[in-house]
Each structure stands twice: as C-alpha cells, then as structure tokens.
Amino acid sequence: MDKFDLAALRVSQDLEPATRPDFGLIRLGKPNKRVFIRTFHVPDLSETYWLLEDVENELYMVTPSLAIELGSDAYPACLVPYVTRDHVAGIWPVKVGKSGAKPNSWNVSAYHAAKAAEENWVRVQSNMTMSCYDTKV
C-alpha cells in the first residue's frame, strides 16, 4: 500500500493570480473627491479629444467637425487613465481651454493634479474660495 502524500494536496501559496485586480469595467469621469488616485501617462495638453456631455451627464466623443457645429456644448479634454486604491480603473477627462481662450483655473489645477498623481497617491477636491482644485498628497 502506498503512503499517503499530504504535500500533493497542499494549496500553492503563490496567490498572485487570485489577487490581481480585474479591470473589466472602466469608469469615465472625474475621480470622486474622497478617493486617492494614481495616474498613468498624463498626455500633453496638445493630445486632446472633443467631448460632449448630455443632459444626463453621459459623455460622448465627437469629431472635430461636429465639435465646431456644437459650439460651446463640446469641449476639448485630455483623457487621463487613473486607478484608485480600491483598484477601480478610470479615465478622467481633464478639460483644457479652447484655442485662444483665457486660461481657466479649474482646468489648469485639474491638469496639475493629474500630473502630481503620476508620482504620488493624491486626492483632488474642489476649493470654491480659490476657484480651483486642491491636490492632497
């Protein structure tokens, strides 16, 4: 009679595949003010896409020619990928100013927050007094 081999039944302690986050769904929108995020490859301000937000806050990408027709309803944005500490993946459409427009403090501070999140975990919160976003590391 063969000896019982308990080691053959042992569960491997290499749990990496079991604990890897699954990014099956990607959130589109600004990160929640209560979560910390990290960003990957914040694009240059020249890498923009035209977006349109409908009355139900759904975002749509539109062609440049359609954006011209839509006027102020369409806006240019950099698409910044991010992840939260809870492994929620998202794309943050950081608005950039239209060509020739005066810089907007909300847009500028959001872009700086996205750049800061490349190096550190940050939380982005509105600062209504200063009309900008505060970045908390």
In terms of pTM, does the model score above 0.85? no
3-state secondary structure the chain: CCCCCHHHHCCCCCCHHHHCCCCCCCEECCCCCCCCEEECCCCCCCCCEEEEECCCCCEEEECHHHHHHHHHHEEEEEEEEEEECCCCEEEEEEECCCCCCCCCHHHHHHHHHHHHCCCCCEEEEEECCCCEEEEEC
* pLDDT digit string, tens, across residues 68-117: 999 889 999 999 999 999 988 999 999 998 777 888 999 999 999 999 99
